[in-house]
């Protein structure tokens, strides 16, 4: 148990709680064209900035523990950083280092995966890889997949099958073939390269589909999505094609305007038979390193008592995840790389200090404002002091309901602020990220303006209760909705002249606004920029909230944004 935080003798107290508002996927755009945040009528947000100290925070790259500043931030690492107050090396960096040093291939999990194929007794023992098929570096990276295939071949594995989940979300919305063609060339080279250890090596793509249509659901929002993936990868029952390329091209012709994340499921067949269903005695690696979209398919493979859908034939396989996706539940049982060991999070310190907390979002981001915010920890630190509230998300395309559940989230927070039950409230509005990923510009503007209405309601409640509101974001997205030429900055356009949509996160900074209507002078609190510490990352949110609660942050936390 941690020691409690020490009180700040300079703090004079407030009547109401500290309210941390995380506007998921809302940043400051680099380009005027395509910045749906700036293009929206955000009257409340602009009003708060006009009368409050505010600054910009880094929310990507090294500032959130990713390998380089070319790596976009994401909700997982963003909430980790905000919740733990420090920067830890994250999944992408850990996996890359493990591969570079060879530690992955010396580990017990990899050895079990390989030895199972040699000793498991399967008819055609096969090593299967399932995961997000891009170099977006948010959930996975193709370089990791290639390295594992190369190593498997070196160690004498004879047969590999890859089950691809097309991206179109963390990378270009219709970039599937840009990844598929060079990867097919890589497999061809591996298959044909002659050596005594690789005689008869056979690596092929076996099945696939879009990440938002099969396999990669999260938070139990859409189990039928996982079921479609299970039937596709395991049973090979999806629509048959001669190749993955044929599947992509066919679906694009049949469904005009479809983007990669929504591509329907397919199975590659030869002589009328699937080339790679998963059979008894095989080994399976789920090569995503990020946990939220890995837990459900992992449960389908690992759980003996599983009731989410009828799995039919459940093959007896040696299954491993790229990382441990849930440290408390120890899921999966076998993993290739250990996740960051995040400790002493803000939530744990607040519980040790007796601070009463509410965490709330809708299903799509509930796990982020709880599990990831708490350092990849399931459950509460103190059941008596913490309440976690999940508002059930709609199961339909987000562009059809761009306001999502921001009003329902706000309803609950409006009741909580004056209740006297909580000292600290944290909430996540998912609109900017989830609608931003659709690439539908009009829907994103609608989502921003709907969220701004809710910020207005929150502002009134904060003023009435004498509370403090900290407004920020975990990364950018809606601020960068068009593809731009990196050299000229010009908008990239489709043949019809319309802008090419960008569905991935941005590299842009995010807001931090401190609205403290009853400030008593404990820190500079003038309107506009210049009154806060500059050049910081979102990991400084933790120390900031701790100070605004009237306590002294841990010495090794990144410094607070307030002076």
CA distance 506 to 492: 16
137 and 67 Cβ atoms separated by less than 8 Å: yes
Residue numbers annotated as active site: 75
Show the DSSP H helices in 85-141 as ranges.
91-101, 103-106, 108-119
Nearest to 167 by CA among 439, 404, 366, 403: 439
Query: 162-185 burial, b if ≥16 CB within 10 A, otherwise e?
Result: bbbbbbbbbbbbbbbbebbeebbe
User: Are 396 and 438 contacting, i.e. CB atoms less than 8 angstroms apart?
Assistant: no
Average pLDDT over residues 487-502: 91
Which uninterrupted H or E stretch holds 337? strand 335-337
Dihedrals phi, psi of 367, to nearest 5 degrees: -65, -25
**Is residue 189 over pLDDT 70?**
yes
Contact 127, 317 (CB under 8 A): no
Q: For residue 332, say if its preceding peptide bond is cis, omega within 30 degrees of 0.
A: yes
Q: What percent of the chain has pLDDT over 90?
A: 85
Top pLDDT among 356 and 67 is at: 356
Distance CA 285, CA 276 (A): 14
Residues 6+ apart with CB under 8 A from 321: 285, 286, 288, 294, 298, 331, 332, 334, 335, 336
Helix (H) or strand (E) holding 244: helix 244-254
Q: Residue for token digits 């170099």? A: 135
Q: What is the mean pLDDT of residues 28-43?
A: 97
The whole-number pLDDT of residue 187 equals: 98
pLDDT at 48: 97
Mean of pLDDT over the chain: 94
Q: Which among 476, 377, 437 has a CA at the least distance from the CA of 74?
A: 476
- Tell me what pLDDT residue 223 has: 96
Contact 510, 475 (CB under 8 A): yes
Pairing mode of beta strands 335-337, 357-362: unpaired
| Residue in the structure block whose two tokens are 């199961």 | 395
**Are 181 and 205 contacting, i.e. CB atoms less than 8 angstroms apart?**
no
160: helix, coil or strand? strand
Token look-up 């044909």 returns: 192
**Helix, strand, coil shares, percent, the chain, to 5:** 35, 20, 45
pLDDT of residue 340: 80
145: Cα within 13 Å, side-chain hemisphere: 33
Separation CA 421–CA 100 (nearest Å): 50
d(CA 485, CA 489): 5
Contact 468, 424 (CB under 8 A): no
Q: Give the pLDDT confidence score for residue 72 in this predicted structure.
A: 84
Find the range with the poorest average confidence among 80-84, 136-140, 472-476: 136-140
The answer, yes or no, to whether residue 186 has pLDDT greater than 50, is: yes
In the chain, domain spans: 18-89+360-548, 92-337
What pLDDT shows up at residue 195?
44
- Assign residue 265 a region: left if phi > 0, alpha if psi is -120 to 50, beta otherwise? beta
Dihedral of the alpha carbons of 438, 443, 445, 446, in degrees to the nearest 10: -140
pLDDT, position 530: 72
pTM for the structure as a whole = 0.76
Instruction: Write the secondary structure of 276-292 as one string of H (helix), E (strand) and C (coil).
Output: CCCCCCCEEEECCCCCC
- Reported as a single tens digit per residue, the pLDDT across 432-447 is 999 999 999 999 999 9
Structure tokens at 331: 């899921």
Burial class (CB in 10 A: 0-12, 13-18, 19+), 430: buried
User: Residue 274 pairs with which residues in a beta bridge?
Assistant: 269
CA atoms within 13 A on the CB side of 449: 11
Residue 459, token pair as written in the block? 């502002």
Q: Hey, how many other C-beta atoms are within 10 angstroms of the C-beta on 381?
A: 18
* CATH number for domain 18-89+360-548, candidates 3.10.450.750, 3.30.70.1290, 3.40.720.10, 2.160.10.10: 3.40.720.10
Range from 287-296, 297-306, 526-535 carrying the lowest mean pLDDT: 526-535
The confidence band for 194, taking pLDDT boundaries of 50, 70 and 90, is low
Buried b (16+ CB within 10 A) or exposed e, 527-548: eeeebbeeebbbbbbbbbbbbb
* Degrees to nearest 5, angle at CA 526 with 525 and 530: 100
Q: Is the pLDDT of residue 90 over 80?
A: yes
Q: Are 436 and 170 in contact (CB under 8 A)?
A: no
Q: State the Rg of the chain over Cα.
A: 24
Instruction: Compute the Cα dihedral for 237, 240, 244, 248 and give only its sign.
Output: negative
Q: Assess contact for 264 and 252: CB atoms under 8 A.
A: no
Local structure of 496: helix, strand or coil: coil
* For residue 196, pLDDT beyond 50: no
- CATH, domain range 92-337: 3.40.1450.10
**CA-based angle 291:70:143, to the nearest 5?**
55
Q: What is the pLDDT of residues 124-176, one digit of tens each?
A: 999 999 999 999 998 999 999 999 999 999 999 999 999 999 999 889 999 99
Residue labelled with tokens 């909700």: 75
Q: Tell me what the mean pLDDT of segment 287-314 comes to.
A: 95
pLDDT for the residue 199 = 59
């Amino acid at each position: 148990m941690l020691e409690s935080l020490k009180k700040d003798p300079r703090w004079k107290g407030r009547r109401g709680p500290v309210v941390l508002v995380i506007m998921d996927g809302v940043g400051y755009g680099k380009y005027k064209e395509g910045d749906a945040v700036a293009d929206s009528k955000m009257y409340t947000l602009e009003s708060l900035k006009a009368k409050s100290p505010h600054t910009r925070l880094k929310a990507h790259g090294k500032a959130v523990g990713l390998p380089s500043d070319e790596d976009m931030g994401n909700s997982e690492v963003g909430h980790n950083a905000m919740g733990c107050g420090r920067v830890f090396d994250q999944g992408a960096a850990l996996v890359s280092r493990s591969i570079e040093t060879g530690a992955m291939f010396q580990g017990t999990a990899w050895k079990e995966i390989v030895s199972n194929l040699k000793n498991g007794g399967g008819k055609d023992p096969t090593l299967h890889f399932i995961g997000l098929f891009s170099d977006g570096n948010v959930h996975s990276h193709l370089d990791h997949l290639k390295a594992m295939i190369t190593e498997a071949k070196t160690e004498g594995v004879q047969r590999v099958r890859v089950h691809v989940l097309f991206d179109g979300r963390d990378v270009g919305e219709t970039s599937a073939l840009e990844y598929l063609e060079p990867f097919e060339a890589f497999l061809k080279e591996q298959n044909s390269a002659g050596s005594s250890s690789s005689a008869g090596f056979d690596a092929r793509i076996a099945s696939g589909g879009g990440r938002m249509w099969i396999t990669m659901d999260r938070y139990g929002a859409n189990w039928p999505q996982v079921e479609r993936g299970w039937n596709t990868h395991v049973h090979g029952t999806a629509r048959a094609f001669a190749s993955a390329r044929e599947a992509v091209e066919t679906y694009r012709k049949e469904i005009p305007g479809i983007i990669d994340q929504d591509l329907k499921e397919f199975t590659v067949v030869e002589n009328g038979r699937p080339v790679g269903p998963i059979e008894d005695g095989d080994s399976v690696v789920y090569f995503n390193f990020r946990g939220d979209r890995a837990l459900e398919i992992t449960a389908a493979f690992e759980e003996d008592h599983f009731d989410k859908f009828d799995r039919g034939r459940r093959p007896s396989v040696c299954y491993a995840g790229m990382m441990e996706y849930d440290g408390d539940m120890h899921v999966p049982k076998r993993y290739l790389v250990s996740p960051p060991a995040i400790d002493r999070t803000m939530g744990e310190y607040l519980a040790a200090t007796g601070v009463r907390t509410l965490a709330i979002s809708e299903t799509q981001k509930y796990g982020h404002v709880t599990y990831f915010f708490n350092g990849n920890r399931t459950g509460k630190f103190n059941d008596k002091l913490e309440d976690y509230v999940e508002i059930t998300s709609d199961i339909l395309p987000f562009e059809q309901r761009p306001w999502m559940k921001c009003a329902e989230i706000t309803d609950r927070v409006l009741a909580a602020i004056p209740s006297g039950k909580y000292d600290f409230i944290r909430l996540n509005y998912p609109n900017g990220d989830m609608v931003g990923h659709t690439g539908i510009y009009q829907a994103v503007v609608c989502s921003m303006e709907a969220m701004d209405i809710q910020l207005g309601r929150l502002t009134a409640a904060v003023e009435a209760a004498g509370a403090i509101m900290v407004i920020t974001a975990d990364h950018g997205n809606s601020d960068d909705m068009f593809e731009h030429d990196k050299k000229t900055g010009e908008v990239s356009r489709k043949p019809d002249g319309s802008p090419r949509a960008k569905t991935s996160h941005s590299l842009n900074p995010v807001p931090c606004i401190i609205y403290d209507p009853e400030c008593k002078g404990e820190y500079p609190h003038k309107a506009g920029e210049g009154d806060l510490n500059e050049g910081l990352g979102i990991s400084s949110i933790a120390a900031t909230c701790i100070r605004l609660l009237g306590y002294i942050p841990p010495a090794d936390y990144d410094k607070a944004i307030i002076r």
